[in-house]
């Protein structure tokens, strides 16, 4: 059973859940989620001999929600991971991320390879910085309808999602799951002009087996303060592109693992299927071919906990064994 406490990191307070003893593994959640997204990973990773820690990242749950939009840049988010590792009394750690947590994990390995023993990303592949600001690219490609662009309209998505957080989250988790038609058909996540995103999302009568009403209760409670902190991550997409100019064409060189679902909307983003196919050649530090989970949607570690746990335990145990040799 995971224990909970607050940790002071870089001038803010982070809520963490933790379990086990041994080398540190930091688990980073995505949007719109919380530490609870990793509930199925705590026991197996702890049983394998690791100290497992999952924070509510800044802007989420019981952690602090800075008001300044610029306080959610990738440098702040990586800084939180580095600060958390040190605050827990460790010099190095394994870092695992899903959805937005994956870019944070990948960039922690890219910017601070000296403290990352190994990195795993779920859903979002390793970062290969483009030549143009991403928001403009998506704006032109989809006529302003791509969800990143919708999220960047001040206060709009915030108000839509906060009106009924439980319905918002129920719709999101169904829409991006492997059971949803949109995932099966590989549709792009677009928001029609003049409409909210939730308007076009089906409201499922029954939740997927892997996402219970109790899970929805926990998640809804974590968004009782609204969605603005979480949405501010998206409002830094172009800023992150500017801030990472010094790492253009740089490649993550610590041991790495990538896992994704074949019905996940994110790996179907423009250009991403080609990137995934080329990863073994582009990224020599990748320890295995990308792990593709059949019938799995976006919520990788929740939809396919057994397969994800097996891949993570195998990967982390192998790296730990190399350190001992």
* Catalytic site positions: 99, 298
Estimate to the nearest angstrom the gap between the alpha carbon of 42 and the chain centroid.
Answer: 17
Among the listed residues 9, 14, 28, 27, the one whose alpha carbon sits nearest the alpha carbon of residue 64: 14
In the numeric block, the tokens 């403009």 are attached to 136
CA distances from 4 to 12, 15, 64, 119 (A): 17, 7, 15, 24
- The CA-CA-CA angle for residues 217, 218, 220, to 5°, reads 65
Q: Which of 291, 38, 304 is nearest to 179 (CA)?
A: 304
CA distance 261 to 265: 9
Which residue, 52, 61, 8, is CA-closest to 34? Answer: 61
């Amino acid at each position: 059973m995971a224990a909970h406490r607050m940790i002071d990191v870089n001038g803010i307070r982070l809520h963490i859940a933790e379990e086990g003893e041994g080398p540190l593994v930091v688990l980073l959640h995505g949007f719109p989620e919380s530490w609870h997204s990793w509930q199925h990973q705590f026991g197996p990773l702890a049983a394998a001999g690791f100290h497992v820690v999952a924070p509510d990242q800044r802007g989420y749950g019981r952690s602090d929600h800075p008001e300044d939009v610029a306080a959610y840049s990738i440098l702040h988010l990586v800084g939180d991971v580095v600060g958390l590792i040190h605050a827990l009394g460790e010099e190095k750690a394994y870092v695992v991320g899903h959805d937005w947590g994956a870019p944070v994990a990948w960039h922690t390995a890219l910017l601070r390879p000296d403290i990352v023993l190994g990195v795993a990303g779920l859903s979002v592949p390793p970062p290969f910085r483009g030549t143009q600001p991403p928001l403009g690219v998506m704006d032109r490609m989809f006529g302003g309808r791509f969800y990143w662009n919708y999220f960047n309209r001040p206060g709009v998505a915030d108000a839509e999602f906060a009106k009924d957080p439980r319905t918002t989250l129920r719709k999101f988790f169904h829409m991006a799951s492997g059971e949803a038609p949109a995932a099966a058909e590989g549709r792009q996540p677009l928001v029609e002009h003049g409409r909210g995103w939730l308007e076009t999302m089906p409201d499922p009568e029954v939740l997927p087996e892997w996402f219970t009403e109790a899970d929805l209760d926990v998640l809804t409670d974590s968004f009782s303060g609204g969605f603005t902190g979480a949405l501010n991550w998206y409002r830094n997409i172009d800023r992150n592109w500017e801030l990472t100019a010094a790492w253009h064409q740089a490649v993550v060189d610590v041991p790495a693992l990538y896992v994704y679902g074949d019905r996940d909307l994110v790996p179907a983003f423009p250009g991403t299927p080609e990137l995934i196919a080329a990863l073994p050649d582009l990224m020599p530090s990748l320890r295995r071919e990308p792990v593709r989970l059949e019938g799995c949607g976006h919520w990788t570690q929740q939809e396919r906990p057994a397969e994800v746990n097996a891949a993570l335990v195998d990967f982390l145990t192998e790296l730990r064994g190399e350190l001992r040799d």
